[in-house]
Structure 1
């Protein structure tokens, strides 16, 4: 294409374009597409609201109406995207004229007059799709009037024009499509969407209450329509926590609350899975008998909430006397909600359940296991933090074991350890050895770099300048303890390299305790050294002491759970460990706190 013609068409400069057409060769160049995008001059002119320019181009080259660019767009696609009603109307008329000319040659049929109105681009979008995406109701109306059947066409994503409009909240366009009288018997086909969804699914997913009401006003049967996963719009509303949508859908048809998806979940279960207490309350208010509904595994509402770790839902269900019947119910495998919370390692939910006196911790499931049996069955030396919290909650509450096994627990541990491999612990040993070495190095250096320096002359030459200060005495003691604790830990880890699994476990436990002491003493020695050199500036010294106290407490909190035995027979020690674990949960945040979505 001549660059000057391209510029004139882009700017809508009809006079300049006419000046450039001087002979037949210039007319012929009008039909040549641009190289990068394969846009013809009619594509370019379609973006400009200039009917005279379109008339000039279409008069000389009517065949350009069917040409596509690299995206598969015809000029009518471009005009629909731009939202120019006059251009779209002109091109529709030109399409009819062009098709009539084509049909006159004897190759056409009745549907030929609509073919260019239904041409898909590479995304499968026809001009009506593009008009909807362009958010122009008048252009949509013009295309619908020209070809009502285009409303039932779906793009490559399976989206009809109505679905796109509902998904994007285009109220006026949805109303226009639904009010199209020309659709007649085709109205059922305009509601298709991807994966079997309807526009109502999309409106619910977008939380568009006005759109939901409009769709249900025109066709209330949509409330029962299922997607490919057998989920109704009520499933979507319950899952997304869309309370207004739940209320609107239930007003039209409460039977949807009793329909399950392909996984066996009802809308009530979907709300429990996502932790939406307000939706659960609304569903139970409208349908009282929903509390008894169970999924494919025979699990009730509390089972599902406990299994997914939804603590707010569990608290609500326990606080509602009407739902107390759910507390100790068993599913198809004999599991109570407490069993499922334990199986899925949801420590917060376990803690909530065991603190309720109505929860029976002695119930055994189909395998003859109590919740505590399940927790202890999967414990080992490399257990996860979630498992530790869960087991701590059960043991602190005094949860009992079930039927005793015909061998004592100590022998079971020994048998298991024989199958362990030293290689599984090597990375931990090497890491701890490195930490021990670093602490010893730092403590050694601190022993020769005294705070305040040394006396340089006189009979006490070489002595520390702050030798007689109490804080200096504490510094020396803390640094010495840190030094030798780390050295002993390093020696213990050397023994761990010998390969005996029992010796390795003992060495790891001992080194962890010693390193905890060494790190704490090193931190205290640092605090005392800083205090000694800044204590004359009182406010600064106080800030140093306060900050150090907070961080030393953090160090201790992190190490206490590693040393206090969760299985201790002393209830006080279990409570200390449990409190420390809860502090850690608050520190590490959402990953271990099982937050509701």
Structure 2
């Protein structure tokens, strides 16, 4: 195969960072480019005049040399043959840069002032067509001057155009569109140069009307937030163009920039009888109301901290632009875009509760509007995980009719909430008694079926949100679909991949083992580096702890002992769970047990820390000692989320099923609470009962787990104490 080096490179192209730029036919001469960029009028004048005077001498010299060496029959041929060198200043000015900029483009874009103005005039006198010449971006020298803010050069170019053909010629140059379909005025608007805008509008009063079907100068000024430029453009020409890109108009842009700009555009359009822009839709069939509903994205809503969200929260009255648009045309709330989405769907997808509430207040009929996928605004809010909108819809009885609406796939809002897996959204729907728990989608799946199909197989966090969703549906007596359960499991229940799960188990055991060994090391060190030190050996009971015998010291020692024992048990369990030679189910049991030991060991170690600090500080700084204990007790909330979740889910079921749900679930709730805080009972109870308590601590969790997670087991937790005793 031939290599790339076997092919000659095209001499008319140059590769720059992977982009091939075509070489111009005539490259601008370095002397000319340097003089133009420096605004060197004298140097440019000498260069152009020298080129004009060099042509005749060059031809005469060639003819004389030919007559001395060749027959006279060839003299005429040589004299008539075109020469490769420039023959005049026009030919010299024909050179351009690789961007297609002529010498006049270079002068206009590089500088401003008398020197550059004189250079522009000199180049124009030598070659007038350069004033209308375009570079590769379609820019004229006037575009370049306006983009750079060179007011004097731009004025001189406009004056040259007027000298050439009067106002019409100047208008033709000023209204010429470049490759982006923009006039000189657009570049002045980008700079927010009010004086330059005024000069351009004075030279061509109708300049703001161009282009008629693209990004107008007014649209651009609104988009950039240049309010003074917007007012200036309208004052200079009230009949200016309102058009924007992709079929939009100025109202689309104004709706994204707040109430004042929206109000201004609406007032101008009403005065000029241009009411069509209110209901005008762009190429995606989106109206200004669609744009306003999408304003202010979710970036600030998802700020990383509460304080950031509080500081940057925007007030609810920002939705007044929506109010203005609805007051001007309420029918726009019922106009869909190409995807069938109405403004209320857009507001719901962006999490704009104020906008949703305002649209429903003005147009209550919008509540049941469906998009092309058959979804209501409630479906959209759930899909985008906006809890506040779901909470608003489920608390208002006005929207009871949409709670069970099914989309094109047959999914209700509850189906989507189960798929999304956000517990708060699910609870908002579950607590509303109008929400049906047993509707099946087009696949025959009820919310309970969907919930079961979302539970992962193998190693996962057993108390995640999806588990609580399934638990809540089961306790609420939600029904399954009509499929045979064996067929349902084959089609929808995830299968266990033991090889993949084995690798996951090994990695998890390694990571967790680091924590268990660390806790064991700290507990071992704390057992022999006790607070208060030891009694001197020459005294009575020498070598024993100084603070021994006090309640706080006894509790400290029990906390250290429990932390060490539990962490060691966790380490041993993790060793077995990390062995690939052990059966996966046994490894899984060991790993789950290790997590329980780890939680107990860390709780005990925290208690030991608080007690140790209390022992040292209480005699001299009791307030500080109590404060440290209180701060440390705040860590009790860690890992107790499942306790909070079961209480919250039970409260949600209470809203739907009544108060008796607490009685039904008491046997479920109390053991979990007891298990979570059992280690503190061991630490702080009377030492006389420690032997029994330790027995409970080590044996009780094993039986408790079997009771809680085995639905066929009918042993009650109360019976466990009898067995242990």
Query: Does the alignment reach a TM-score above 0.5?
Result: yes
| In structure 2, distance between residues paired with 1:83 and 1:424 | 63
| In structure 1, distance between residues paired with 2:142 and 2:609 | 76
CA contact (8 A) 1:66 1:116 kept: no
Q: Does 1:484 align with 2:550?
A: no
Q: Does 1:94 align with 2:160?
A: yes
Q: Does 1:523 align with 2:606?
A: yes
| In structure 1, distance between residues paired with 2:356 and 2:493 | 48
Structure 2, unaligned stretches of length 5 or more? 1-30, 52-92, 297-317, 651-661, 675-725
Choose the corresponding residue for 1:375, options 440, 451, 468: 451
CA contact (8 A) 2:107 2:120 kept: no
| In structure 2, distance between residues paired with 1:398 and 1:320 | 25
Query: Could you say which structure has the larger radius of gyration?
Result: 2
Name the residue aligned to 1:433. 513
| In structure 1, distance between residues paired with 2:518 and 2:583 | 26
Q: CA RMSD in A?
A: 4.7
CA contact (8 A) 1:260 1:267 kept: yes
Choose the corresponding residue for 2:616, options 513, 527, 533: 533
| In structure 2, distance between residues paired with 1:503 and 1:562 | 29
Q: CA deviation at 1:517?
A: 0.5
| In structure 2, distance between residues paired with 1:398 and 1:40 | 79
Secondary structure in structure 1 of the residue aligned to 2:527: helix
Q: CA deviation at 1:180?
A: 7.4
Deviations 1:482-536, CA, capped at 9 Å, x for gaps: 1111111111122222342211221121111110001111111121122212121
Q: Does 1:203 align with 2:282?
A: no
Name the residue aligned to 1:168. 224
Name the residue aligned to 2:276. 221
Q: CA deviation at 1:369?
A: 2.7
Q: TM-score by structure 1 length?
A: 0.76
Distance 1:570 1:447, change over 3 A: farther
| In structure 2, distance between residues paired with 1:430 and 1:550 | 29
CA contact (8 A) 1:561 1:577 kept: no
**Equivalent residues, number:** 549
Distance 1:327 1:559, change over 3 A: closer
Q: Does 1:128 align with 2:185?
A: yes
Name the residue aligned to 2:683. none
| In structure 1, distance between residues paired with 2:136 and 2:489 | 73
Name the residue aligned to 1:460. 541
For residues 28-67 of structure 1, the aligned pairs below 5 Å read 43=109, 46=112, 48=113, 56-62=118-124
Q: Does 1:237 align with 2:317?
A: no
Secondary structure in structure 1 of the residue aligned to 2:255: helix
| In structure 1, distance between residues paired with 2:576 and 2:663 | 30
Report 1 or 2 for greater relative contact order, CA contacts < 8 Å, sequence distance ≥ 6: 1
CA contact (8 A) 2:185 2:207 kept: no
Q: CA deviation at 1:80?
A: 3.2
Deviations 1:36-95, CA, capped at 9 Å, x for gaps: x9985555553x4x6xx6664445443586799999976634653576767644331113
Q: Does 1:352 align with 2:428?
A: yes
Name the residue aligned to 1:118. 176
CA contact (8 A) 2:132 2:173 kept: no
For residues 253-264 of structure 1, the aligned pairs below 5 Å read 253-264=329-340
Distance 1:386 1:98, change over 3 A: farther
| In structure 2, distance between residues paired with 1:469 and 1:343 | 55
Q: Does 1:152 align with 2:228?
A: no
Name the residue aligned to 1:448. 528
Q: TM-score by structure 2 length?
A: 0.64
Structure 1, unaligned stretches of length 5 or more? 10-16, 101-109, 581-597
Q: Does 1:500 align with 2:583?
A: yes
